[in-house]
Amino acid sequence: MLSSLMDPAGRRISYLRISVTDRCDMRCVYCMSEQMSFLPRTDVLDFEELLRLSRVFVRHGVRRLRITGGEPLVRRDIGFFFKELGSWLRLPEQAGHLDELTLTTNGSRLAQYATVLAEAGVKRVNVSLDSLDEDRFARLTRRGKLAATLDGIRAARAAGLAVRINTVAMAGVNDDEFDALLAWCGEIGADLCLIETMPMGDTGEDRVEQYLSLDSVRQTLSRRWTLEPLTYQTGGPARYVRVAQTGQRLGFITPMSHNFCATCNRVRLSCTGRLYTCLGQEDGVDLRHLMREGAADAALEAAIQSAIARKPTGHNFLLDAQTGAISGPQRHMSVTGG
């Protein structure tokens, strides 16, 4: 292995999130505007370009890859991509070994791909699901079908995949469903992770009104559920407890109320080949331009090292305690990759 990627705060970068597309078959209210303009396909990295960049990162100590979007499973031939990356899980340490390959999905096409993912070596998936009510789900996703996502989750469990349900906690929107989601996750053998809404891009929604601190949510849940402390980690930002009544884990991701920057080991590669070293910052480096200009791997490595040398200590998501105003980057989450 070549030299590891270390940022100025002494954090070792071992986790890369790769967006394979900005396209999605839903328009979730916290992620996209209803009328999205998607990138021309020529702007999006092809699979060989994505694999080449992934190899560079793995050679420099990245051991976890998460595939994101948009919705990654809408991309044609995505099964090939997972099969190729999955082969790296079986390589020896010195030859580009991966410890883990995971996926974040809205679940709409998971029934089609669950077996493919399992055969590729994926062990767990995160599924975005913000409501178990069919009408509410349709409003929040603007066009999603709850039945398709639930079918996908069932298919994933049947294929042997561990499932974590990701739920964005929104005041006055779905804050009356957390108990039902916890109980349902217990029934199907899935973990649940609650996420504070993040101010990324103009989605046409008032996220100041929707913002909900997970401190208060945890306190409320603890009156009805026994939440046991855990040291369990997945490599991401969630902090977990065990729900004694179900035996499943409950995670909290709190970018606004308690940022997790001190232990950040992650960078993100957009589907256009832009490397973002922080979800909450605009700074990045264009790796697509370098590749398409014929740059050798050494030049890509230098550009990546230079970007990580500028990785900020913390993000730019702001919450004004006096006014309640929140702010963040102007790009949509779907452009960056989750």
| Residue 264 counted as an annotated binding residue | yes
Nearest to 331 by CA among 288, 268, 266: 268
Per residue in 106-165, pLDDT tens?
999 999 999 999 999 999 999 999 999 999 999 999 999 999 999 999 999 999 999 999
Per DSSP bridges, beta strands 124-128 and 274-276 are unpaired
Regarding predicted confidence, which is higher, 128 or 93? Answer: 128
The pLDDT of residue 198 is 75
The pLDDT of residue 333 is 59
pLDDT category at 15 given cuts 50, 70, 90 is: very high
How many H-runs (helices) and E-runs (strands) does the chain carry?
11, 14
| Residue 266 counted as an annotated binding residue | yes
Per residue in 168-220, pLDDT tens?
999 999 999 999 999 999 999 999 999 998 765 554 555 677 889 899 999 99
| Residue 268 counted as an annotated binding residue | yes
Regarding predicted confidence, which is higher, 299 or 95? Answer: 299
pLDDT category at 321 given cuts 50, 70, 90 is: very low
| Residue 271 counted as an annotated binding residue | no
DSSP letters of 270-337? -TTSEEES-TT---EEEHHHHHHTT--HHHHHHHHHHHHTT--SS---EE-TTT--EE--SS-HHHH-
The pLDDT of residue 330 is 58
Write down the pTM of the prediction.
Answer: 0.90
> Which CATH superfamily, name and number, covers 15-336?
Aldolase class I (3.20.20.70)
Per residue in 62-92, pLDDT tens?
999 999 999 999 999 999 999 999 999 999 8
Per residue in 253-305, pLDDT tens?
988 766 667 788 999 999 999 999 987 677 789 999 999 999 999 999 999 99
**Which whole-number Å values give the CA distances from 102 to 41, 160, 177, 261, in the listed order?**
24, 14, 27, 22
Q: Which alpha helices (H) appear in 78-165, and where do they start and end?
A: 78-87, 110-120, 134-141, 146-158
| Residue 240 counted as an annotated binding residue | no
| Residue 24 counted as an annotated binding residue | yes
| Residue 66 counted as an annotated binding residue | yes
The pLDDT of residue 284 is 85
Inform me whether the pLDDT recorded for 2 exceeds 90. no
| Residue 185 counted as an annotated binding residue | no
- How confident is the prediction for the chain on average, in pLDDT? 89
pLDDT category at 318 given cuts 50, 70, 90 is: low
The pLDDT of residue 200 is 53
Nearest to 57 by CA among 294, 320, 277: 277
| Residue 291 counted as an annotated binding residue | no
Per residue in 23-51, pLDDT tens?
999 988 888 777 778 899 999 999 999 99
The pLDDT of residue 206 is 58
Q: Where are the domains of the chain?
A: 15-336
Nearest to 163 by CA among 103, 121, 109, 225: 103
| Residue 31 counted as an annotated binding residue | yes
